Structure 1
Amino acid sequence: MGRALKELWGYRDLLWLLTLRDLKVRYRNSVLGIAWSWMNPLLMMTVFTLVFTVMNRGPASLPHFHAFVLIGILAWNAFAVSVQGAAESVTANAPLVRKVYFPREVLPLAVVLSNAINFLISLPIYFAIAWISGIRPTPWLLLLPITLMAHLMFTAGVSLAVAALNVFYRDTAHILQVLLLAWFFLTPIFYPISVLPRHAVILGLSVDVWLWTRRLNPMASIIASYHDLLYYGIYTAPEFLLRTWVTAALTLALGYALFRRLSPRFAEEV
């Protein structure tokens, strides 16, 4: 593993070039350019705000609901778009994979990094909207890099795994679309994680839905942490932050190990 990481580090310039290529291709011949990365979350923010605070003719369950939704959508999009793009990153570069030697993991990782950059570029939009809405940053904002790193590690781990699987099972990319849609609604993006019941009867068993959502859905903990730091202005409980970090690190290690194990066969499969 250490040798593979050393080799990957040696190709860091290639990784950066592919990341820049992904960003340039995405916004080539676009009038608004990178501003399009803001349009989708802003549109979804508007729709969710209308649905949950206007059309239901009831008061908003959260003050400044639009800001709450926006940070969740930005974080989710960074994850979901990365995973979907990474799934086809190897197969889309088949000629390169067959003819040139380089660590294949740079292909999905370039997709992840380009979306991470998009996410960072989009954060000022959130801060501007939050400030206008009366939400002020607190000193707990200094913990944001910890959540960002957990977010990046988990996204990279899942992306590496699906990129490898899609080379051998081309249905992976299609299955992902369905799974990500279900995952979206199971993640506290447009509702606070605190509304999940602590005791619910499922199949005759008493289940702490709140606790098991945080344990089994890393994106739930990651987005809840963004809500804590950027919306509520409080710190995330250390035990959940630590568990999220451990889960993200394990996901990255397992995803990378799977990718390295299967990558020698990529050239003959693409």
Structure 2
Amino acid sequence: MTQIAPVPDLDGFVRPGQGAGLIDVFRRRYLLSLLVRKEVQVRYRGSVLGWMWSYVKPITQFLVFFVALGVFLQLNGSIPNYPVYLFSGLVVINLFSEAFSNGTKSLVDNAPLIKKIYLPRELFPVSSTLVAFINFLPQALVLAVVCVLTGWHPNLVQVLGILLGVLIIVLLAMGLSLFFGSINVSFRDAQNFVELILLVATWASPVLYQWTMVEKILPDWLMVIYQLNPVTAAVELLHAGFWYPTTEGQIPMPTGLWFYGLCALVTASVLLVVGQLVFRRLERRFAQDL
């Protein structure tokens, strides 16, 4: 009689192509570190200045806005210590822009790898966000040095505000990257839509101007919506950490800044969960659409 082979024990296996999403990313921290290292090395390969571009780009951007707004529109005279105010807002929006934009394109840019092997696809948006954070650090260092030279002596509350602002931006960019990155695989229009969002985000937050200018124009209910914008809260938290201490009460801090900061943290966390859910829903078509 023909013997039936015993059924193998499959307890240690999972169905191919299934995983735990962002949890798998942190389980594979070594692979994540390899992707981050690869992106950092490739970005400035063949460049004469190399890592110096991390300083040249934001400084050039700062000079353009400072001349246009600070000198020509005379904001340098109406806003105390305007260079610190401007640069502390620019480093935040640069972190958000780079993480969001590169994270949206990360799946398409890594299409050959995605089509060949299975690995947690969330690795690519997450690694792009981490690379943006690494590029943010030199800019933050320059800002901190300038602030120290202007008499900045931060206390614990100010440091916590800075960390909270950065955390909001990282979570927000990561969630939006998962959402738009997964859509961008099938509909490349998502990249153009992201560029519009970033353009609006720069001017819809007090990066280049003061929040008091907005308060004078908007009605109260619309001002609340303006302050609930997570990017606005993050920008003002960095202003509170780096800039407000040097104004000596000349400019009032936004009312309820910590409340809006915590609301922004909740909003960013919710968008991260939504982005992950949409990503997992569309993930099954990635290899086919790429």
Query: How high is the TM-score relative to the length of structure 1?
Result: 0.90
SS at match of 2:110: helix
Alignment pair present for 1:223 and 2:235? yes
CA contact (8 A) 2:103 2:129 kept: yes
CA contact (8 A) 1:74 1:122 kept: yes
Q: Which sections of structure 2, spanning at least 5 residues, go unmatched?
A: 1-17, 246-252
Give the aligned partner of residue 269 of structure 1. Answer: 289
Give the aligned partner of residue 97 of structure 1. Answer: 114
Deviation of residue 56 (structure 1)?
Answer: 3.3
CA contact (8 A) 1:87 1:162 kept: yes
CA contact (8 A) 1:192 1:224 kept: no
SS at match of 1:90: helix
Give the aligned partner of residue 260 of structure 1. Answer: 280
SS at match of 1:88: helix
Distance 2:120 2:48 in 1: 35
Give the aligned partner of residue 188 of structure 2. Answer: 170
CA contact (8 A) 2:233 2:257 kept: no
Write out aligned runs for 1:147-158 (5 A).
147-158=165-176
Give the aligned partner of residue 20 of structure 1. Answer: 37
CA contact (8 A) 2:126 2:174 kept: yes
Write out aligned runs for 1:131-142 (5 A).
131-142=148-159
CA contact (8 A) 1:150 1:244 kept: yes
Deviation of residue 75 (structure 1)?
Answer: 0.9
Q: Which amino acid aligns with 1:54?
A: V
Distance 1:57 1:11, change over 3 A: closer
Alignment pair present for 1:77 and 2:94? yes
Distance 1:121 1:14 in 2: 24
SS at match of 2:106: coil
Q: Which sections of structure 1, spanning at least 5 residues, go unmatched?
A: 201-205
Distance 1:58 1:264, change over 3 A: closer
SS at match of 1:102: coil
CA contact (8 A) 1:86 1:109 kept: yes
Deviation of residue 198 (structure 1)?
Answer: 5.8
Distance 1:2 1:154 in 2: 23
Deviation of residue 153 (structure 1)?
Answer: 0.8
Distance 2:95 2:113 in 1: 26
Distance 1:97 1:118, change over 3 A: same
Q: Which amino acid aligns with 1:98?
A: K
2:211 to 193, 205, 225: 193
Deviation of residue 178 (structure 1)?
Answer: 2.4
Deviation of residue 51 (structure 1)?
Answer: 2.0
The more displaced of 26-35 and 86-95 is 26-35
Distance 1:174 1:58, change over 3 A: closer
Distance 2:75 2:130 in 1: 40
Residues 69-100 of structure 1 show CA distances to partners (whole Å, capped at 9, x for unaligned) of: 11111110111111111111111111111110
SS at match of 2:215: coil
Deviation of residue 258 (structure 1)?
Answer: 0.9
Distance 2:75 2:188 in 1: 45
Distance 2:236 2:91 in 1: 13
Give the aligned partner of residue 4 of structure 2. Answer: none
Write out aligned runs for 1:35-54 (5 A).
35-54=52-71
CA contact (8 A) 1:197 1:208 kept: no
Q: Which amino acid aligns with 1:251?
A: L
Distance 1:105 1:190, change over 3 A: same
Write out aligned runs for 1:56-71 (5 A).
56=73, 60-71=77-88
Distance 1:185 1:55, change over 3 A: same
2:244 to 225, 232, 242: 232
Q: Which amino acid aligns with 1:197?
A: E
Instruction: Flag the structure with larger Rg.
Output: 2
Distance 2:75 2:133 in 1: 36
Distance 2:109 2:21 in 1: 23
SS at match of 1:52: helix
